[in-house]
A and B are shown apart, each in its own frame.
Chain A
């Protein structure tokens, strides 16, 4: 696995999905990518993690027991506006998903099954955007 360079810590990506198989597969396939990967099996678990540590990018499914993905991402936008929010769902037609997109709660919307290349590209662009935003707000201070 790649070792982080001393200057830049790796972006932290949180995957939230109620399917453990999917979380494991994500972790495996992204293991050689320059990210620190955390997983959560529900929105509630995800929120608990966000309270404990810094996360840069959140990728969430829509259909989950308890809090749905769109609600989860809306809360993150309110509480942690700097986190880049991505939805990865197997059901893009769902009204709640469409609403989340239109309400601007998402940076990007991905439809399962998403190809590995597209996922990597999206994460790369998300990380880049996040870094740029952090730099510009640092400059403004």
Chain B
């Protein structure tokens, strides 16, 4: 019986040894004291040492790792694992090679409950670990970048939106006020803008996608609560490998800026007058010039006449005294000659007329200027609209007199409760526009255009119409006529604020209507309708806007 057992044991040992020798990993067999009794070729290569047998495994690890190894090996010896449990365990140690160390994963397995030997499998994991660390670092860096980008997008003081070619919102960095983010993604971007701008926006998007252009524009958005928000936007193509793969839109809320600008402009009623100032200065300086010249002439004329009169007096005295008169008479005749009485008889009255009409012209302009100054904020007083019309015509004369004649057909109007300076300013804006429109038609030719201003009463309304024979307004820009800062004029000839201010004044402050009719090539007529009495405060300007016919 014992002979069989020892033979089996020897066979097993032989098998063990061949298995270890052939194993494709570094393997070592340790005795109960930790000495290496067997090492395979790979183990020798792993530790770059060909005579591992006989040394302790401990000698193959660095000082720090030895403690851990000892602890583990002791634990394995003393505590037998419960039956059936996985008896292997592994630990990471620093192995020693001649000249350097390396990271290795060491797995231990006791050969059996009865054997005191331990199988050790070593795996060089240096490059593994290095790669793992790199990956972890990359993941960390990527996470940091994501976090940072997320912060940037969330706190950017602007909307950053990706818009697809079809106009759907693919990404938005912040929720639009009063909308939810979920509701926004996938929705059409157009629904956030005033309908009058849809065609323009679609055109802009198409341009970005087809020609890769970057476009800037301003647009207003009606918020769900009825207020209006203004944005300044830039939209540009996004490219990957040279291809346009999307469009990125950056929008800033400029509502506050617009409001402040609007207030600043509305609070500067003289702004338009400023641009007319040089024309007005000319209209005042010219009469002052010829009034001065005329007075000079009259003073000369009068002293000439006094001189002549002196001669006549001499003559009279001589005649009464009976003295010889011949010399005096001759002197008087000479003086009369020099005075050139025929010349004076014609020109003196003319000079007086010049003075009177010149001063009247100046007085008219100065008086008209007063109608443009705010007496006080917010006072609506009964006023004479026809006077506002006449003041405006006088003030604006230099703008139109070279191109157009102004005809007024003013009807009977009762006093209308209003702020006359606002209305005069609105009329002035319209007249100046009319003059420029006419200049566009007749400028450079001998022809003249016509501006016709009518006023009449229609029941509870006072109506003023201003018709010009100018270029007319093209259909494509009719919707923008009242937009603040929209202008078709060249730099220096108007900033586009006039009609916007006029509309605010008429429609909102006065509860009236400012509208126009136009035909390209024929001209434009603006209508100002004002309630004669301020209507009761129950009607809102929105209701009045809804009733506006053309705009």
| Residues of A participating in the B interface, judged by any CB pair closer than 8 Å | 1, 17, 19, 21-22, 24-26, 28-29, 31-32, 61, 63-65, 88-91, 93-94, 111-116
A17-B286, A113-B288 provided; 13 other pairs, C-beta below 8 A? Answer: A21-B287, A21-B354, A22-B293, A25-B354, A29-B296, A61-B286, A90-B285, A91-B278, A91-B282, A111-B285, A112-B282, A114-B289, A116-B292
Taken together as a complex, chains A and B put the C-alpha atoms of A63 and B401 apart, in Å, by 11
- Taking A91-B278, A113-B292 as contacts, is the C-beta distance between A19 and B297 under 8 angstroms? no
- Taking A90-B286, A93-B278 as contacts, is the C-beta distance between A21 and B297 under 8 angstroms? no
Taken together as a complex, chains A and B put the C-alpha atoms of A90 and B292 apart, in Å, by 14
Q: Does B368 contact A (CB under 8 A)?
A: no
How many Å from the CB of B299 to the closest CB on chain A?
A: 9
**How many CB-defined contacts (below 8 Å) exist between A and B?**
82
User: Among the interface residues A21, A24, A61, which one has the most CB atoms of the partner chain B within 10 A?
Assistant: A21
Interface residues of B in 494-526 (CB under 8 A from A): none
Q: Is the Cβ of A19 less than 8 Å from the Cβ of B286?
A: yes
Q: Is the Cβ of A26 less than 8 Å from the Cβ of B402?
A: no
- Interface class of chain B by DSSP: helix
Taken together as a complex, chains A and B put the C-alpha atoms of A94 and B282 apart, in Å, by 10
Q: Which one of B289, B300, B402, B403 contacts A90 once the chains associate, using CB atoms below 8 Å?
A: B289
User: Among the interface residues B286, B288, B350, B402, which one has the most CB atoms of the partner chain A within 10 A?
Assistant: B286
- For residue B354, which residues in chain A have a CB less than 8 angstroms away from its CB? 21, 24-25
Interface residues of B in 1-49 (CB under 8 A from A): none
Taken together as a complex, chains A and B put the C-alpha atoms of A32 and B293 apart, in Å, by 13
Q: Is the Cβ of A91 less than 8 Å from the Cβ of B288?
A: no
Q: Which one of B287, B293, B357, B403 contacts A29 once the chains associate, using CB atoms below 8 Å?
A: B293
Q: Is the Cβ of A22 less than 8 Å from the Cβ of B290?
A: yes
- For residue A25, which residues in chain B have a CB less than 8 angstroms away from its CB? 289-291, 293-294, 297, 351, 354
Count residues of chain B with CB under 8 A from any CB of chain A. 31
Q: Which residue of A lies closest to B353 (CB)?
A: A21
- Interface class of chain A by DSSP: loop
- For residue B350, which residues in chain A have a CB less than 8 angstroms away from its CB? 24, 28
- For residue B403, which residues in chain A have a CB less than 8 angstroms away from its CB? 65
- For residue A64, which residues in chain B have a CB less than 8 angstroms away from its CB? 402
Taken together as a complex, chains A and B put the C-alpha atoms of A64 and B290 apart, in Å, by 17
Q: Which residue of B lies closest to A1 (CB)?
A: B340
Taken together as a complex, chains A and B put the C-alpha atoms of A41 and B347 apart, in Å, by 20
How many Å from the CB of A15 to the closest CB on chain B?
A: 11
Q: Is the Cβ of B282 less than 8 Å from the Cβ of A90?
A: yes
Interface residues of B in 285-341 (CB under 8 A from A): 285-294, 296-297, 300, 340
Taken together as a complex, chains A and B put the C-alpha atoms of A89 and B296 apart, in Å, by 19
- Taking A31-B343, A65-B402 as contacts, is the C-beta distance between A26 and B285 under 8 angstroms? no
Taken together as a complex, chains A and B put the C-alpha atoms of A94 and B293 apart, in Å, by 24
Taken together as a complex, chains A and B put the C-alpha atoms of A24 and B358 apart, in Å, by 12
Q: Is the Cβ of B289 less than 8 Å from the Cβ of A22?
A: yes
